[in-house]
Amino acid sequence: MKRHTFHGFMGYLAGKLAEALRSRQPELNITERDVLCVQIAGLCHDLGHGPFSHLYDGLFLPKALEKKRKLKKWKHEKGSCDMLDHLLKENNLEPVMEKYKLIPEEDITFIKEMIAGPLQESEGQEWPYKGRPEKKSFLYEIVSNKKNGVDVDKFDYLARDSLYLGIMNNFDFRRFLQFARVCEVDGRKTICTRDKEEDHMYHLFYTRHRLHKRACQHRVSHIIQEMIAEAFLKADDHTEIEGSGGSMFTLSTANEDMEAYTKLTDNVFEEILNSSEPNLQESRQILQNIISRKIYKFVGETTPKNPIPDWKSLKSSWKTKLAQPLPEGGRYLTRKDFKILVIERDYGMDDKDPIQHVHFYSKSDLNKAKAKAMPEEKESKIGTKIFSEQLIRVFCKKIDDESVKAAKKHFKQWLRMEPNLDGPEGN
């Protein structure tokens, strides 16, 4: 499976939302250029994903950079912008853009800003974007909405993932298109929806939460992702990917050269698996274990009574406590036999209520083009008041029955040593 794909449906949705606003509110002066740029941004939004999507930039790359003592951070949105530049240059696309009445020096910046946000620090400036003026601020909310996450990126993956995973999706993007309007909020034009749509917007965030819980953060898929990242990490210094000018790159540096990055696809899994290179033996064994379903065994999970913000600094001591001998004796387990994962689940805005960041207009205020947040007293009383949770999961790398049985006892013993942790769940 190749990594770099265009998001046709997301580009379609981006265009449909821009066109809906254009036809409903001609006073916004949305041009054909604007609509085409929004569509291109939707198409190219995820060009920067590495192998296995967020596994590359969310799991593998941070660990690889930490191992090399590099403090820089990298997100796939930057990769999308770099890849867009690469494609434009390699395919000489600026004349093609001009053919479609785009202005490359302005519109390429606009497209990249819609994908990744402001491209440069703009300290002291109220409007940080260069591609479009502040009066068209709402256009920056279509592809990647930094204010509240209500954007076509979310519409796209909720519809697709829910369909393929058989999970009910009660959010209908067509209904959102029907009621979307641009209103003034705090002096800036913002995409809003009708006040009667509060429940519908709640479904958007709730469906996202359920997808993460039942699929993205399911304990089996989660530990398999961790094992793949572990295999890539062990393979990092022993891989060579040719980039521009014949320069060679590794898994963790290929994103610095777009020619090399185009070659870094999901196929790297098979390349490691089928390699006979001695230095890739450890990586190869991990991937073979995944295929043979010899994955790390789930021991238990627990919910902190209070969120632990500095959990990364505590993982080492947790492993030491987990490995302490049992009073009754038994199988000997070490720190290296345990894998601890901490999962942060939320509705898209940490511990905040996302509905409070969506703005609603009423039918009676249409002429005023004003909108406001939903007052808490008017919010539906049927719903959650808790919007985030933290789970700590423990796995055992030894998968034989006796070791797993012992690991579960170690886990329960560890819980008794940690006053901030609740009892075991899901054993």
| Catalytic residue positions, numbered | 76
Cβ neighbors of 229 (< 8 A, separation 6 or more) are 55, 59, 60, 63
Q: Which of 301, 297, 376 is nearest to 345 (CA)?
A: 301
* Sign of the CA dihedral with 228 first, then 232, 233, and 234 last: positive
Tell me the helices (H) and strands (E) count for the chain, helix number first: 16, 9
What is the CA angle 87-88-90, rounded to 5? 60
Q: Taking a C-beta distance cutoff of 8 angstroms, is the pair 254, 262 a contact? A: no
Which token pair is 275?
């390699």
Distance CA(180)–CA(200), nearest Å, equals: 13
Alpha helices in 295-392 (DSSP H): 311-322
Distance CA(40)–CA(14), nearest Å, equals: 9
Q: Taking a C-beta distance cutoff of 8 angstroms, is the pair 361, 183 a contact? A: yes
Q: How far is CA 226 from CA 147, 229, 341, in A?
A: 30, 5, 9
The residue assigned the tokens 């387990």 is: 333
